[in-house]
Amino acid sequence: MNVVIHLPNGEFGHEIWELTRIFFPGREAKVLHPITGDMAAQDCLAADFLLTVWYSYVNDYEIEVHTKLENKTDKPLKYNIHRFSINEHIKKQPIKEKREIKKILGRCIYDALAEHTGIYPSWGTLTGVRPLKVVHNLMDDGFDDMEVLDILTSGYRVKRDKAELLTGTAGNQRHILVENSDDMVSLYIHIPFCPTRCLYCSFPSVVLDRKSDIADKYLDCLIMELDQAVNELVQRGIMIQSIYIGGGTPTALTYSQLERLMGAVDLVMDGRKIKEYTVECGRPDSLDLDKLSILKAFGVNRISINPQTMNQETLDKIGRKHTVQQVISGINMARYIGFDCINMDVIAGLPGENAEHMEKTMASLASLNPENITVHTLAVKRASRLKKSLEEYPLAGDDTAEEMLRVCHRWIKEMDMIPYYLYRQKYMVGNLENVGYSRRGKECIYNIQMMGEKQTIWGFGAGAVSKIYYSSEDRIQRLPNAKDINEYINRIQGTIHRKKAIIDSML
Ligand code: SF4
């Protein structure tokens, strides 16, 4: 045990744990039971640091926050006491009051730990995966862009460049979110098969075994799940705004399987118009003219062909088993078939790469002229092969990862693209971010809705998570499907039943 966090008020444990971890990279952090202070005695004794944070009201509109950092010496390393006012307007709304207190505590912890460790994280106290939600909440409260920037930099300690990225992105996607209504949803369909497994992959996806009939059995269940739920929805007058078939690699399916899947979606949609229909083609080695023609024939109007890098040596190292030339051919074929909205994913921080590699990747992407580019930062997840073989594949340092993102941003600017969605993940190199960029008017609706959490997304297939949005409470209910493919197949009736019960209760 390296860092123990004690929160006598018993609130915001997860958020404070997430924030504290950033200042102690490589160390384990644990939150002490808030009420009893319970934790194995040896854990407490073994802790290198004890962080205690508490607050109390000194009057109706003022709180006093204590932030104490101790190690095994007699004297605390830091002990700060600060007073903050809570304005009357916030005080009247319990949800906003909680949010304000969380912001204040985060800021106190940030200041104390940054001063002690010399680490000043770029994203300040915004440790969750959806920093845009904070910005939209502020915009909903009537703050203008300059005021939001000020709150982000001073209230949340976000660095200026990241704060500008956030407000810019929020502005570029807001017109889609504000048009949401309760009778409009999106669908996510998961195909958990890939040609090979990438080194960094942590998704619920398996290598497709062509000799087994697992993919056919999977499609039987998936189509059943889709058919029942979508029928229930359309009977109740619900409209489908966007469909996203992701994975995995949906185009790893055989021609007949792909045709069957696309036909089933077409059937449930029964001629209804969908604004956006995406299929992730992912691996260019899973593509040819015939598969692209199937997608086009069934109305797909956005695809994603993901190189991750345009350096062959890295592609070989990360186990993608396709060539740079196959990426270029994939894009050319898609243009030939008539796709006019293509996304390409890249990852900053892949093993062995630096800014020069990213320069080459982005130059190559610019020459292919995609409508969307999504720039991810490598995340080292527990379920990945990478996590288990870090000695073999040393990662880029934080500065290198940041430099790679700067290279991306320069190219993105030259391509006249705008940021339109953004999210963060745990365990990202350099604690950075993932950003989707787009040519104006080509922003992916599904990505915005998925991360915005202001529209219901029904998920189908193994590992898919439905997120049901209750607008009156501004609340999301998550309904996850079984992750394991066999378990998903075995439990399909229960899954269908659960979905139907929720649809019945809502509408
Ligand atoms: S293509 Fe995507 S889902 Fe498939 S193995 Fe690679 S990272 Fe995982």
Give the per-residue SS3 of 401-422: HHHHHHHHHHHHHHCCCEEEEE
The ligand 1 atom nearest the CA atom of 306: 1
- Mean pLDDT of the 303-312 span: 97
Count of other CB atoms within 10 angstroms of residue 108: 20
Instruction: Report the atom number in ligand 1 closest to the C-alpha of 194.
Output: 4
Phi, psi dihedral angles at 369 (to 5 degrees): 55, 50
Tell me the pLDDT tens digit for each residue of 145-172: 999 999 999 999 999 999 999 999 999 9
Question: Residue 475 carries which DSSP code?
Answer: E
Nearest CA owner, ligand 1 atom 6? 198
Mean pLDDT, the chain, rounded, equals 93
Residues 6+ positions from 496 with CB-CB distance below 8 Å: 224, 225, 228, 229
Calpha distance 440→448 (Å, rounded)? 14
Task: Tell me the sheet residues that pair with 312.
Answer: none
> Does the pLDDT of residue 43 top 80, yes or no?
no
Which pLDDT band holds residue 13 (cuts at 50, 70, 90)? very high
Omega before residue 248 within 30° of 0, cis? yes
Q: How confident is the model at residue 386 (pLDDT cuts 50, 70, 90)?
A: confident
pLDDT for residue 122: 92
Please identify, by atom number, the ligand 1 atom nearest to the C-alpha of residue 192.
Answer: 3
Determine the length of the chain. 507
Token pair for 207: 């290598």
- 485, containing H or E segment: helix 485-490
pLDDT given for residue 45 in this prediction: 65
CA 178 to chain CA centroid, Å, is 21
pLDDT at 40 over 60: no
Burial status of residue 102 (CB atoms within 10 A of its CB: 0-12, 13-18, 19 or more): middle
Is residue 35 pLDDT above 60, yes or no?
no
With the C-alpha atoms ordered 137, 142, 148, 154, is the resulting torsion angle positive or negative? negative
Q: Does the CB atom of residue 247 touch ligand 1 within 6 A?
A: yes
pLDDT tops 90 at residue 106: yes
What confidence category does residue 381 fall into, taking pLDDT thresholds of 50, 70 and 90? confident
Percentage of the residues of the chain whose pLDDT score is greater than 90: 79
What is the band of 323 on the pLDDT scale with cuts at 50, 70, 90? very high
pLDDT at 38 over 90: no
Q: Tell which wins on pLDDT, 173 or 88.
A: 173
Rounded mean pLDDT, 32-61:
77
Average pLDDT of the residues in 180-203: 93
Atom 7 of ligand 1, nearest CA residue: 201
Each residue's pLDDT tens digit, 336-350: 999 999 999 999 999
pLDDT for position 428: 82
> 3-class DSSP state for residue 432?
coil
318 lines ligand 1 (CB under 6 A): no
